[in-house]
Structure 1
Amino acid sequence: MVLQMESPAPSIKVENWLRGEPLTNFQPGKVYIVEFWATWCGPCVSAMPHLMQLQEKYRDSGLEVVGIAADEDAPTAVEARTKLDAWLTEKCSNLNYRMAFDYTGEMNKLWMEPSFSVAIPTSFVVDRDGHIAFIGLPTELDEVLPKVHNGSWRTSDQAKSADTERIAKNERMAREQALKKPIDDRFWAAVKTEDWKTALSAIEEGIALLPDNLNFRLAHATLVLHKIHDMWTGLPLMHQLVRDAIDRNSEDWMIAALNQLFHPNLDHSRFPSPERFAIGKELSEHVLALNPPQGDSPKFWSYPAVARYYHESGNKNRAIELVELALKSLDGPEPIPDELKEHLLPELLQALANYKDEKVCHGALCAAPQKNFLPKVSKRRP
């Protein structure tokens, strides 16, 4: 049975209630947000302060927020529950809404799978009559909740259109995941044994099926340029990746291409230097136009890659400026999970120390210059 807007809300079947009183059923006259999340999910953690604000703002209007931790990563239910309880105590001691834990998969079967929801965070809004009013991202709740409370949301064309679009998008994602899995399995098995020919065959099959998949495109370029060292084939691949990144006006694609050209973990000695710097200049200018220094958008994802280009091209002051802006954006208006800050801050500080050739500090953390520092490629936001 498909779970969508106007469907009766499924029941809540969980193993434990870690915070707040157990919820046995949805009471008529109340509005509920049922939020699927996990401690390892950065956007989920970022959404928690916002959900707490919504709980406080709409408490007198009958809103109840219910967190569902159904995807904790641990070998056993006991370990997962213990880890979650400790995390809530340390990171979210002032939580003002219910929190449930489920390790059996029952909640995902009742809620996530029937609604074609393939990723977290996912927010379900249950209306006053116990029917689903909205399924989507917690960032959309500010617009949706007032209309749910005044009764105008479910009858609106906007709501119907959004739900139809959501189902179509999630069905596409589910089909893509099903296509990717056997290719991913074959690719990673080949990488483990350094069988680059088989890995390349798997990736080429993946690109034929999903030509717009960035991970496949990156793996293709990495294999050809940095494992097989076939510059004759690799250069056209790199040019096409750059063109597609610019045509899409996608920051993610541009940074991925820049990392192929300038990340210190990769060997660029075979790449024609004038061509590499010309492409780097073009990509960097596009990134800075898309995410300008004076804007409020986060800089910590993209600016380190742009800074590497400027530093290698001899513009040390520009590289320093960009890393300092990236550091500043860690404390910007958009909430950033503590775990993400802890991951990014040492790498940004180390880059700044290397570019300045002096010791630098940010709060209590300091870094001294290192000649052979090889930063990790930071994981992209989901």
Structure 2
Amino acid sequence: MYASASSAAASTCTSQSCSSAWNAFVESKRPITTRLPFASSHSTTTLSPWGAERRSMARSIRERAGPAAAGYRKCLRGNALRGARAAGPAAVPTHPEPKLAATSRGATPILYPDPMKQFPSLLRAGVAGVALFTVSGLAFAGAQPSAAFALQAPAAPQSEHLLDLMVGDVAPPIAVKKFVKGEEIRSFQKGQVYVVEYWATWCGPCRATIPHLTELQAKLGSKVKFIGVSVWEKDQSLVEPFVTEMGDKMVYSIAMDDVPEGDRKGSNGKMAKAWMTAAARNGIPSAFIVDGDGKIAWIGHPMSGMEKTLDAILAGEFDLAKATKEYAGSKEVRAAASQQALNKALESGDNAAALAALDKMVAQDPKNPNAAMTKFSVMLNRMKSYDAAYAYGAELVDGLFKDNSNLLNAMAWTIVDPDRAPAKQDLPLALRAATRANELVKDDAPMKASVLDTLARVYFAMGEVAKAIETQTKAVALAPEQQKAELQKTLDLYKTPSVKG
């Protein structure tokens, strides 16, 4: 499980509003000794980098979590619906703490990267569908929908070094602010195996994983030294009390990241940047195994494959060269590298580079809907190439998006979103997309109210107020309680005589 910035059925870190439900889940009577799936109120579901983990965790939550998990999921769904309105299509959460980015505007939940420093500006610019990785049980410091939403790239030449830090590389130095528990480990010693695991006080999945790490430390003893590094903290003064509270559930070396003065979100800590950012690890908990030669032998979720790798290393059966080759050629790393390149271009405002990156992604995988949706958004909202954007959008509505209600809804809302409406609107295209999305979604589907809300907004923008009122009335009737008030406000707006679309 990761705490993220990723995902409904198997997701990211919890939002504070769901902390009670989360704690009930963690403290559930049923012993949870393996992966736990979590969904955040702002996460999109994607089978991208860690799809196997997500599926495994989803099974775990169904089979083992019990009633407490249902309460947690209900809370998250509510948060997702509330956040969807503000976030827009396929949005990425902007809250510094983990939230589901699942938006009712066109993407099921997603997991995200260090949300604190990335996506707010992209969302304000109207970029829809920039999904990171969907990971089950991940908490993102910063903030997935269906397998189709992952930006996946084809296998790369195995000699290509796609990320700054990968399996096979020399481990970065230990640069922590202070150790708050256990042995103070300041450097990696020859012949000693280490696990460097990243967590945060606000990360529910991390809390659930910590006892397992303690068990492994006790089991493996001095053969492996575990170091838990707190990252992405808004308030580092909470770390020591948290460690004290965990007591004998957290018995290994614990340290705080060395964060620059003034960095109120902790996203620029030395360890966070040199390890997590360099390896494109956008969710926590995340762990790195450092072998006896000081090289990264494994990177991943601490409850998904780590113990098996440690056993192989200690038994002298681990093949680092093979692991390095497999990691470099994996779809997960390719996806991370592609997403990272795109994010950098978007964050720097280099629209030409972003479009070039997206064109390449689409050419490599013409059936990748997430890349296609992002390309449409970049052309429309950032480059203002309205005619070209709508021509491309029409191709998507009639082709790739034809049977994808999420993306059809997202496209329609991108065109009519009252907070970020483009200067030139192709309302007929928005109507086609919204109408098709409504045809695809059944009345008892959780997303129905949001789809109807989008369709009503299109009618209103077209000046067909009566149809807008009729459709919005249906949306209010079908909406879950936590969404009704907001949709009712929109309905009241449509009924105001002086207001025009």
Normalised by the length of structure 2, the TM-score is 0.43
Do the aligned partners of 1:118 and 1:174 also contact (CA within 8 Å) in 2?
Answer: no
Residues 180 and 54 of structure 1: is their aligned pair in 2 closer, same or farther, counting only changes over 3 Å? same
Do the aligned partners of 2:196 and 2:287 also contact (CA within 8 Å) in 1?
Answer: yes
Do the aligned partners of 2:402 and 2:408 also contact (CA within 8 Å) in 1?
Answer: no
**For 1:322 and 1:28, how far apart are their aligned partners in 2?**
63
Shift of 1:134: 0.9
Of the three residues 123, 135, 149, the one matched with 2:287 is 123
Residues 316 and 209 of structure 1: is their aligned pair in 2 closer, same or farther, counting only changes over 3 Å? closer
Do the aligned partners of 1:32 and 1:126 also contact (CA within 8 Å) in 2?
Answer: yes
Match of 2:326 in 1: 161
Q: Which has the higher contact order (CA 8 A, sep 6+)?
A: 2
Q: Deviations over 1:297-329 (max 9, x none)?
A: xx7xx77743523665645586357642xx7xx
**For 1:151 and 1:278, how far apart are their aligned partners in 2?**
56
Match of 2:434 in 1: 280
Residues 12 and 244 of structure 1: is their aligned pair in 2 closer, same or farther, counting only changes over 3 Å? farther
**For 1:250 and 1:369, how far apart are their aligned partners in 2?**
22
Shift of 1:267: 5.0
Do the aligned partners of 1:15 and 1:101 also contact (CA within 8 Å) in 2?
Answer: yes
**For 2:318 and 2:404, how far apart are their aligned partners in 1?**
34
1:183 aligns with 2:345: no
Match of 2:410 in 1: 256
Aligned length, in residue pairs: 288
**For 1:255 and 1:66, how far apart are their aligned partners in 2?**
45
Of the three residues 370, 377, 384, the one matched with 1:218 is 377
Of the three residues 206, 209, 228, the one matched with 1:48 is 206
Structure showing the higher helix proportion among its residues: 1
What SS is found at the alignment partner of 1:151?
A: helix
**For 2:415 and 2:228, how far apart are their aligned partners in 1?**
42
Residues 93 and 216 of structure 1: is their aligned pair in 2 closer, same or farther, counting only changes over 3 Å? farther
Q: Which consecutive residues of structure 2, in runs of 5 or more, have no partner in the other structure? A: 1-160, 261-268, 362-370, 458-467, 495-501
Seq. identity, %:
18
Do the aligned partners of 2:230 and 2:257 also contact (CA within 8 Å) in 1?
Answer: yes
Residues 146 and 109 of structure 1: is their aligned pair in 2 closer, same or farther, counting only changes over 3 Å? closer
Match of 2:391 in 1: 236
State the Cα RMSD in Å. 5.0
Normalised by the length of structure 1, the TM-score is 0.54
Match of 1:103 in 2: 259
**For 1:319 and 1:155, how far apart are their aligned partners in 2?**
57
Do the aligned partners of 2:192 and 2:291 also contact (CA within 8 Å) in 1?
Answer: yes
Map 1:33-112 onto structure 2 (within 5 A): 33-36=195-198, 45-62=203-220, 65-69=226-230, 83-86=235-238, 89=241, 93-94=245-246, 96=250, 98-103=254-259, 106-107=270-271, 111-112=275-276
Q: Deviations over 1:53-91 (max 9, x none)?
A: 43245343237653434555xxxxxxx6xx222377589
Q: Deviations over 1:276-314 (max 9, x none)?
A: 33311323556x59xx94xxxxx7xx7774352366564
Do the aligned partners of 1:33 and 1:65 also contact (CA within 8 Å) in 2?
Answer: yes
Q: Name the amino acid aligned to 1:68.
A: V
Residues 89 and 220 of structure 1: is their aligned pair in 2 closer, same or farther, counting only changes over 3 Å? farther
Residues 233 and 47 of structure 1: is their aligned pair in 2 closer, same or farther, counting only changes over 3 Å? same
Shift of 1:257: 1.4
Match of 1:132 in 2: 296
Do the aligned partners of 1:127 and 1:148 also contact (CA within 8 Å) in 2?
Answer: no
What SS is found at the alignment partner of 1:183?
A: coil
Q: Name the amino acid aligned to 1:319.
A: A
